[in-house]
Structure 1
Amino acid sequence: MTVSADSVVLPDLLAKAADALAAAETHTEQARQSVAALVSADGKVSAGLLEREQLAAHGLAWLTTYTAALRESLHWAERLEAAGGLGELEALLMQAGFGEYLNQMAGGLMLSQGEIVRPGDLGLDAGALLASAGAKALMAGGSSAAVRRRIGALLEDALATGAFGNPGLEDEALVMVQDQFRRFVNDQIIGPAHEWHRADELIPMPVVQQMAEMGVFGLTVPEAYGGFGMGKVAMCVVTEELSRGYIGVGSLGTRSEIASELIRLGGTEAQKQALLPKIASG
């Protein structure tokens, strides 16, 4: 990727991100070991200690998730770079994500407005992060006001066009699904959605029925139970496109996916046979 002299993309961004990721993984492993010691007795997790140390346990879950998000965003950028598809927008999105998440890891994870988990709550400090040159560079300039302004400028027309950067789907079927739902949202959702919201109306049943016919509610349901068996990435692609039009529409599919996954993983065969086809069909 080539950038202009006045670009806010950090020099050697991918190398800095790789260095920062290694530091984040070390930090997370240190936190895991520390929290394990806090909640364990006689070599196993204690329910009582887990209850007492629930802030640390909750924070560890968030920290682990943040690190996984950094890892996958770097892998995404590396794949785009290898394919010649890493542009300024994609680089800045990854850079800003690293800058924000690393700062939260070092200073405090915002679980909610009233629940902030700092390194000390996990029994450690931010030494592993602060020792990384890549992490320090990204924490200092990765998500600056100038970076966010540039991202905003690049995304000025994104809500209308659906162009939020190259997702790197690497699967023609997913690209086709994305295009299909983008057209559906542009034609059926974006126009009336504001009035639905203003009037506090339910999403009209004809829209829900059309979503069912398009397979929204059975994307990850196995084909044996009437679904498409497409996996989580397909669900994310569809949910993002629907949510671009109206968050209420986007959330409809996720609710059915949560229900079907719980039944698929924890239900009896009789329950699967009875319920999954109904969910998949809407």
Structure 2
Amino acid sequence: MDEPIHEHARWARQLLRALRAALDQGTALLAQACLVDGKLAARRLDAKQVSSFELAWAGAELLAAEAALAALDAEADELQARLALVFAVDAITSIFDRLDVVYDEVTADATVLSAIRLDPAWSALRRGAAGSAALEAAGRSVALSDGEVGVFELDEPHALAQDAFRRFSAEVVAPQGEAIHRHDLTVPESLLQPMREMGVFGLAIPEQYGGSGPDDHDDTLLMVVVTEALSEGSLAAAGSLITRPEILSRALITGGTAQQKTHWLPRIAAGDPLCAIAITEPDFGSDVAALALKGTRTPGGWLLNGAKTWCTFAGKAGVLMVVTRTDADRSVGYKGLSVLLVEKPSYDTHEFEFVQERGGKLTGRAIPTIGYRGMHSFDLSFEDFFVPDANVIGGEEGLGKGFYFTMAGMVGGRMQTAARACGVMRAALRAAIRYTSDRKVFGAPLADYPLTLAKLARMAARLAACRRAAYSVAKVVDSGEGRMEASLVKLLACRSAEMVTREALQLHGGMGYAEESAVSRYFVDARVLSIFEGAEETLALKVVARGMMERALGIAAAGT
């Protein structure tokens, strides 16, 4: 880095350290306000939802800014350094406003925030790293980068995987992505079979069970690398295909019997059958503990009655991982849930009805959506549908443990969703770079105008920060830690994908709103990311904010 950028980085780190201390203090104060008898009380947490939401977002933005700056050293690439500083300024600006809400909520002395705002380093950083001249310089470099920002140094196996899947995404996925979206098609075998051959469905499954994952540890980083690359070609046609097998395989690895692991894992790794996850229900959304799909004992197994919704890929899938209430006592909440594996034929249609020989019935109907087409999300209805005892994960010992088995795959699912967001952002940024370089407005390329360059700089800065955070946290997750950080990255990356794709579409003008333009698909696809794998509000309140408060208090709090 040159000397001015080095100095800006020093100021940014100084400010982020001060904000980290202010965040920790605000978190502790908010947690104290939610205590009853030494425990975080659900009713008090609910009363503080607005400030808790802002707290979670401040944590996410701070984590990403820290990750971006952590990569800067004397040898750092100038573009990456400029983008890290642009994001740091934007993040600090936002964090100030969010912490104001937190401190006001607990009527705390906000002198610490005022002191940071008045620090000369802050005004100097804003002018030097994110003023008009700095944004224009960064934007010009972004325009020449082809979207290669947020570079994370990978070892040889991960780098080879990234190259291979980026080529596959560009050459095989992207050419089919537009037709799948515009004609609302089901993901075709012309995509699925090559992905089977590349071992995509077995990335989270150990080699001893027929997958390509290590036997002695997880490789979340590989999942992130591959998911990001596939999502750049198409979120719905490829980028989301490996999340479901990961969640199911991790549930089996965590709680399955030896026989179940031997029977199911090699088949899942081979992509035959394809799988889907049925958790959400019409009346409960993200409230897993309240799920009501009823499983009733019958000789040799269980009869399922009830409904599920937003079950992605349920038509094409040959096996559904169904979270079922097997304990009729609703008062036990999540402790009454089990995971049952429902086998069914594979359908390419948007509606299906499967009737068992004994009369049980499963019907499905694809939910029309503005984007994320290809895999399709289904409404499902079970009527006396029989599932044998052999298909209860964990067998008799697994009854009542379904919540835990399901959560075993959610950290990986959230990391994959962050990676999907990064892939969509990368596609949108690259499209914006190409269009603004070619499109002439008032006699000059759109990319020559300062406002365009500022937009490209901020888009690239956000993508770079999210990529670095996702890749860094993936390595932490593989060490057995990082559950909170995975949620923070998911939170930020998914909202960022909306922002970046929105700006990319805007830079395309009227053509961006046309379906024939790929950027219109990126925009509507990105919108779903903040909803699934933990809706933004639920994730921020129930996982992130609560987790931050528990850390601050040093307790394992239980809701009351």
Same fold (TM over 0.5): yes
Q: Distance in 1 between matches of 2:120 and 2:253?
A: 45
- 1:168 aligned partner: 153
Q: Distance in 2 between matches of 1:247 and 1:73?
A: 25
- 2:79 aligned partner: 89
List per-residue Cα deviations over 1:17-46 (Å, max 9, x = no partner): 321221121122112111211211222211
Letter in 2 for 1:166: V
1:244 to 223, 228, 232: 232
Decide whether aligned partners of structure 1 residues 181 and 142 sit closer, same or farther in structure 2, where only a CA change above 3 A counts.
same
Mapped pair 1:120 → 2:108: no
Secondary structure of the 1:163 match is coil
Structure 1: tracts of 5 or more residues without a match: 4-8, 110-115
Q: Distance in 1 between matches of 2:71 and 2:228?
A: 17
Decide whether aligned partners of structure 1 residues 155 and 54 sit closer, same or farther in structure 2, where only a CA change above 3 A counts.
same
Mapped pair 1:202 → 2:186: yes
Q: Distance in 1 between matches of 2:198 and 2:16?
A: 39
Q: Distance in 2 between matches of 1:257 and 1:204?
A: 21
List per-residue Cα deviations over 1:66-108 (Å, max 9, x = no partner): 2222222222224xx4xx3x21221122112211111110124
Decide whether aligned partners of structure 1 residues 239 and 53 sit closer, same or farther in structure 2, where only a CA change above 3 A counts.
same
Please say if residues 23 and 128 of structure 1, whose CA atoms lie closer than 8 Å, have aligned partners that are also in contact: no
Letter in 1 for 2:53: H
Q: Distance in 1 between matches of 2:107 and 2:252?
A: 38
2:97 to 90, 98, 107: 107
- 1:41 aligned partner: 36
How far is 1:273 from its partner? Answer: 5.1
Mapped pair 1:156 → 2:146: no
Report the structure, 1 or 2, having the larger strand content. 2
Relative to the length of structure 1, the TM-score reads: 0.76
Please say if residues 54 and 98 of structure 2, whose CA atoms lie closer than 8 Å, have aligned partners that are also in contact: no
Relative to the length of structure 2, the TM-score reads: 0.42
List per-residue Cα deviations over 1:190-237 (Å, max 9, x = no partner): 333233333233332221232233233332333344331452222222
Q: Distance in 2 between matches of 1:173 and 1:35?
A: 44
Please say if residues 23 and 132 of structure 1, whose CA atoms lie closer than 8 Å, have aligned partners that are also in contact: no
Decide whether aligned partners of structure 1 residues 260 and 77 sit closer, same or farther in structure 2, where only a CA change above 3 A counts.
farther
Decide whether aligned partners of structure 1 residues 198 and 121 sit closer, same or farther in structure 2, where only a CA change above 3 A counts.
farther
Letter in 1 for 2:190: P
How far is 1:61 from its partner? Answer: 2.6
How far is 1:272 from its partner? Answer: 5.1
Q: Which has the higher contact order (CA 8 A, sep 6+)?
A: 2
List per-residue Cα deviations over 1:125-166 (Å, max 9, x = no partner): 43364255544444555444554544443333656xx63353
Which of these two proteins has the greater Rg computed from alpha carbons? 2
Mapped pair 1:130 → 2:117: yes
Secondary structure of the 1:252 match is coil
List per-residue Cα deviations over 1:231-261 (Å, max 9, x = no partner): 2222222122222222322232334434444
Alignment of 1:60-75 (within 5 A): 60-75=55-70
Q: Distance in 2 between matches of 1:92 and 1:241?
A: 24
Identity of aligned residues (%): 32
List per-residue Cα deviations over 1:156-190 (Å, max 9, x = no partner): 3656xx63353222x11111111111221222123
Q: Distance in 2 between matches of 1:149 and 1:193?
A: 33
Alignment of 1:222-261 (within 5 A): 222-227=206-211, 228-229=213-214, 231-248=219-236, 249-261=238-250
How far is 1:62 from its partner? Answer: 2.5
Decide whether aligned partners of structure 1 residues 131 and 235 sit closer, same or farther in structure 2, where only a CA change above 3 A counts.
farther
Please say if residues 98 and 138 of structure 1, whose CA atoms lie closer than 8 Å, have aligned partners that are also in contact: no
Q: Distance in 2 between matches of 1:155 and 1:206?
A: 34
Q: Distance in 2 between matches of 1:11 and 1:76?
A: 12
Q: Distance in 1 between matches of 2:268 and 2:26?
A: 40
Please say if residues 20 and 62 of structure 2, whose CA atoms lie closer than 8 Å, have aligned partners that are also in contact: yes
Q: Distance in 2 between matches of 1:272 and 1:55?
A: 44
Of the structure 1 ranges 40-49 and 210-219, higher mean CA displacement relative to structure 2 is found in 210-219
Counting matched residue pairs gives 262
Letter in 1 for 2:152: P
Q: Distance in 1 between matches of 2:47 and 2:97?
A: 23
Mapped pair 1:77 → 2:72: yes
- 1:113 aligned partner: none
Report the structure, 1 or 2, having the larger helix content. 1
Please say if residues 158 and 222 of structure 2, whose CA atoms lie closer than 8 Å, have aligned partners that are also in contact: yes
Decide whether aligned partners of structure 1 residues 38 and 269 sit closer, same or farther in structure 2, where only a CA change above 3 A counts.
farther
Letter in 2 for 1:221: I
Decide whether aligned partners of structure 1 residues 13 and 88 sit closer, same or farther in structure 2, where only a CA change above 3 A counts.
same
Q: Distance in 2 between matches of 1:121 and 1:142?
A: 32
Letter in 1 for 2:234: Y
Q: Distance in 2 between matches of 1:207 and 1:21?
A: 44
Letter in 2 for 1:156: A
Structure 2: tracts of 5 or more residues without a match: 272-560
Please say if residues 107 and 119 of structure 1, whose CA atoms lie closer than 8 Å, have aligned partners that are also in contact: no
1:192 to 176, 189, 195: 176
Aligned alpha-carbon RMSD (Å): 3.2
